[in-house]
Amino acid sequence: MNEAAPRSRRLIAGLPMYDYPELRPANDALWRWIAAYLGNKGIKDLDPDLSRTGNIYSLWRDPDLILGQTCGYPLMTELQDTVTYVATPVYTAPLCEGPLHRSVVIARNAENAGSLAAFRGTRCAVNGMDSNSGMNLLRATLAPVAAGGHFFREIKISGSHRESLKMVAVGEADIAAIDCVSFAHFCRFDPDHVASIRIVAETGLTPSLPLITSLRTSIETLQVIREALMAVGTVGPRPEFLDQLMIAGFDVLPTHAYDAVLGFEAQAVAAGYPLLN
């Protein structure tokens, strides 16, 4: 009996960084628009559905990834030999500046601490130690007051910005850094928890979360992906899903733009605070 020829793998896409349940229909619509554009340009074998495997690290490293989104910190520290930068969304969330975003440092309303230095010895919720917005920017913001030693009593890994917000709101942690795009979404989706916290500081700016593709993606295909991103907000009526995602458009930044992420890391190291602890 002749065995069936193995089916070729499809090119996959995933937009996991702001794929909250409330935003999944909008992310699906964005990908369908982009996939249709790519298909009309002759790019075939596209998976029509976004990949939601739950393992973003595998997604980022998948050789069949045609479009994904990652965080600026892993882009600069882990993925340099695995992915190609595509573009940066321009978000309309408060505290964004063009293609740049920052984090807000939050605490409970009931917390009396009036300055970052007063949070020494408290509990910090961090979405992940490889997060630019939740760890790297917070570390750089605290470095001037950390005095080169342990600052927090405990670091709690929450697994997500949404969980960090909840932990602070209900008293399981005392402080956290949330990227301003996520925070703007939470103001709509999670108003009860947001009502229980206050912003105590803002971090510096870095480019927003980058869109990426596999290193195997050809230069020609990369150019078509960028054309699709530039077209989605300008061709025909503006799609509603862009407003739901708080996306004004997309920019292709200079290759050195994300060096700013490592610049904040270097600032913390120079101040004697190389680890968020």
Checking DSSP bridges between strand 123-126 and strand 175-179, what pairing results, if any? parallel
If you average pLDDT over residues 258-277, what whole number do you get?
Answer: 97
Q: How many CA atoms lie within 13 A of 55 on its CB side?
A: 5
Q: What does the DSSP 8-state code read for residue 210?
A: P
**Domain co-membership, 127 together with 190:** yes
Q: Assess if residue 80 is contained within a domain.
A: yes
Checking DSSP bridges between strand 65-69 and strand 211-214, what pairing results, if any? antiparallel
For residues 132 and 178, the answer to whether their CB atoms sit within 8 Å is no
**Domain co-membership, 108 together with 168:** yes
Sheet holding 83-91, edge to edge: 12-13, 65-69, 211-214, 83-91, 247-251
What pLDDT is recorded for position 112? 74
Percent of the chain with pLDDT over 90: 90
228 C-beta neighbours (distance < 10 Å), count: 22
**pTM of the complete model:** 0.93
**Domain co-membership, 85 together with 43:** yes
Percent of the chain with pLDDT over 70: 97
What pLDDT is recorded for position 206? 98
- Which has the higher per-residue pLDDT, 22 or 110? 22
Average pLDDT, the chain: 94
- The per-residue pLDDT for range 134-189, each reduced to its tens digit, is 999 999 999 999 987 899 999 999 999 999 999 999 999 999 999 999 999 999 99
**Domain co-membership, 139 together with 72:** no
In angstroms, rounded to a whole number, what is the distance separating the alpha carbons of residues 110 and 271? 31
- Which has the higher per-residue pLDDT, 41 or 237? 41
pLDDT over 80 (residue 122): yes
* Structure-block tokens of residue 202: 């803002």
Total domain count for the chain?
Answer: 2
